[in-house]
Every structure is written in structure tokens, then in C-alpha cells.
Amino acid sequence: MKKMIIASTSTVHGSSYLEYLLPTLQLHFKGVKQIVFIPYARPSGITYDGYTAIVKKAFSNINIDVKGIHEFDNAKEAIGNSEAIFTGGGNTFELVNQLYKNDILSILKEVIAKGTPYLGTSAGSNICGVNMKNTNDMPIVYPPSFTTLGCIPFNINAHYLDPIEGSTHMGETRETRIKEFHVFNETAVLGLREGSWLEVNNDDIFLRGKLTARLFEQNKQPIELKSGGLIKF
């Protein structure tokens, strides 16, 4: 019985870390005393300890303790015995690299499938899909595989951005990059805008937040999905 929150971002403009999600997380993690945090993505190269401290401060607002997975002697046992899990954002290549290096991808998928509450933001959301091929990050390391958790039957493009009207920027849009992906790949991609998240209850996936999300499927025109709806395709 999967119980997941898959969020585009940890922080929205004008608020502190996880602030906009705390009411949702208070319900999502009801009864949880301690969360195992996976800091492997290391945004801006922050240390594991430094990253964990930020997360610990945020969750103190809802009276939940946080312990980084690097603080345990055995990462597999930490995941297997966890009450709940949070994987933070940063660089998806390095996150996936460390999940393989520490051999915890399989057990992470296993405990999520059994109902351990999971939160992912940004890179931690990218790994919930079939693979990590729709990340926006630079390939700073080379993971053994791009295959990720496959907890949802599509990929996430976190921090999805729409083209800015009147912009003179000549670089590729997110939509352009996803179209390039679909020349070679069949997996659907959900463009998840900042401030939006997915709520996963077993096989039911709902879009939450105030914004729509953009769904891309191979050889089809992209469509906008309304918040509150069950995602079906």
C-alpha cells in the first residue's frame, strides 16, 4: 500500500524550507516519530550533516525527528527499519549514483510498496519514476544505471517551466527537451510545476496544489491536468 508525497520542490518563493507542505506532511506522517533522511543529492555541494540539519529544523515544526541515513552503521537496515523516509532534492545523478553505491534502491522500493510513508522533493521525486532521464540536472557523475524506483508509471520533470512570453532566450524549453526524449522513449512525462505535488495512495495518483501539471505522451499533444484530479492515461 504505497503512501507517497512526490513534490516538485522543497521551497516555494517567499517561504522557508518545506513550509508550504507542512500541513500536508503533518497528516502524511501522522504517528511517525522519526524520519530517515537521504541527503545524497547534496544541493550546491552541501555536506550530508549540513543538509540533514536543515531538514531536521523544518520537521521540528511538526514534532518529528530526523536522522540522516549516513548516521547509521548500515544503510540497508536503516531503510528496512524506518518509520518513514524523505529523499531531498539536489543533483539527481549523484543521488542515483549513491543509491546504487550503497545498494539501497531495491530495499527502498520494497518498503515503499509495503506502505512506509515516503516524501520526495525535486531529485527525490525524480527517482520515483521509471527512470531519471527527465531530470534537469548536469551529469556531474555517472551512475551505474538511469533506472530508478518505478513507483509511478511515468517520469517526473520537476520544477517544470513554461516558455516566458516575449523572452529572447534562445535555449531549449522544457517542452522541447521532453519532445526530444520521446523520439527515443515511450515513457510518459509529467511536468510538475513548483508548488505542486502528487499524492500516491497505492495505485491512485492525485495532483495536489493550486496549479495544473503538463502531461506529455509519445506521439500525442501535451495536455494540462487539473489539480485534485486522479491521474489516468
Catalytic residue among 137, 167, 204, 227: 137
- Answer positive or negative: Cα dihedral of 84, 25, 226, 136: negative
- Answer positive or negative: Cα dihedral of 105, 107, 110, 114: negative
Catalytic residue among 16, 159, 182, 227: 159
Which three cell numbers, joined as nine digits, stand for 134? 527527465
Instruction: Look up 204 and say whether it is catalytic.
Output: no
Instruction: Look up 13 and say whether it is catalytic.
Output: no
Q: Which residues contact 81 (CB under 8 A, 6 or more apart)?
A: none
Sheet containing strand 189-192, strands side by side: 155-158, 189-192, 213-216, 223-225
**Amino acid present at 136:** N
Residues 57 and 88: their CA atoms lie apart, in Å, by: 14
Instruction: Look up 122 and say whether it is catalytic.
Output: yes
What is the gyration radius of the CA atoms in the chain, in angstroms?
A: 17
Q: Which residues contact 183 (CB under 8 A, 6 or more apart)?
A: none
Catalytic residue among 8, 10, 82, 122: 122
- Report the catalytic residues: 122, 137, 159
